[in-house]
Amino acid sequence: MNNLLTVEKVRVCYGELEAVRGVSLSLAAGETLGLVGESGCGKSSLGRAILALERIASGKIEFNGTVVSSLKGAALKQFRRQAQMVFQDPFGSLNPRLSVGAAIEEVLFVHGIGGSRAARRERAAALFEDVGLEPDWLSRYPHEFSGGQRQRIGIARALSLEPKLLVADEPVSALDVSVQADIIQLLKRIQRDRGLAYLFVGHDLAVVREMSNRIAVMYKGEIVETGTTDQVCDNPQHAYTQKLLSAVPDIDKAFAQ
Ligand X SMILES: Nc1ncnc2c1ncn2[C@@H]1O[C@H](COP(=O)(O)OP(=O)(O)OP(=O)(O)O)[C@@H](O)[C@H]1O
Nearest to 20 by CA among 226, 222, 217, 240: 222
Binding-site member from 4, 12, 36, 44 for Mg ion (CB under 5 A):
44
Choosing among Mg ion, ligand X, none, which partner's interface includes residue 80 (Cβ < 5 to 8 Å by kind)? none
Between residues 44 and 191, which has the closer beta carbon with respect to Mg ion? 44
How is residue 196 annotated by DSSP? -
45 in contact with Mg ion (CB under 5 A): no
Distance, in Å, from the CA atom of 93 to the CA atom of 155, rounded to the nearest integer, reads 12
Total of chain residues touching ligand X, rule CB under 6 A? 12
241 in contact with Mg ion (CB under 5 A): no
**Partners of residue 198 on adjacent β-strands:** 32, 166
Binding-site member from 7, 19, 168, 233 for ligand X (CB under 6 A):
19
23 in contact with ligand X (CB under 6 A): no
Between residues 7 and 190, which has the closer beta carbon with respect to ligand X? 7
Render 62-116 in DSSP notation, one character per residue.
Answer: EETTEEGGG--HHHHHHHHHHEEEE-S-TTTTS-TTS-HHHHHHHHHHHTT-SSS
Q: Coil, strand, or helix at residue 170?
A: coil
203 in contact with ligand X (CB under 6 A): yes
Subset of 34-73 contacting ligand X (CB under 6 A): 37, 39-45
Choosing among ligand X, Mg ion, none, which partner's interface includes residue 33 (Cβ < 5 to 8 Å by kind)? none
Choosing among ligand X, Mg ion, none, which partner's interface includes residue 14 (Cβ < 5 to 8 Å by kind)? ligand X
Query: In angstroms, what is the minimal distance from the CB of 211 to ligand X?
Result: 16
| Phi and psi, residue 116, nearest 5° | -80, 170
Distance, in Å, from the CA atom of 61 to the CA atom of 246, rounded to the nearest integer, reads 33
Q: Are 34 and 209 in contact (CB under 8 A)?
A: yes
Q: Are 10 and 42 in contact (CB under 8 A)?
A: no
Query: In angstroms, what is the minimal distance from the CB of 58 to ligand X?
Result: 16
Q: Are 59 and 15 in contact (CB under 8 A)?
A: no
Which segment (12-20, 106-114, 150-158, 182-190) binds ligand X by CB under 6 A? 12-20
Choosing among ligand X, Mg ion, none, which partner's interface includes residue 175 (Cβ < 5 to 8 Å by kind)? none
Q: Kindly state the helix (H) or strand (E) to which residue 190 belongs, with its residue range.
A: helix 177-194
Q: Kindly state the helix (H) or strand (E) to which residue 20 belongs, with its residue range.
A: strand 17-28
Choosing among ligand X, Mg ion, none, which partner's interface includes residue 40 (Cβ < 5 to 8 Å by kind)? ligand X
Which segment (7-15, 35-43, 52-60, 244-252) binds Mg ion by CB under 5 A? 35-43
Using DSSP, how many helices (H) and how many strands (E) does the chain show?
10, 10
Query: In angstroms, what is the minimal distance from the CB of 100 to ligand X?
Result: 25
Q: Which residues bind Mg ion (CB under 5 A)?
A: 43-44
Point out which residues bind ligand X (CB under 6 A): 14, 17, 19, 37, 39-45, 203
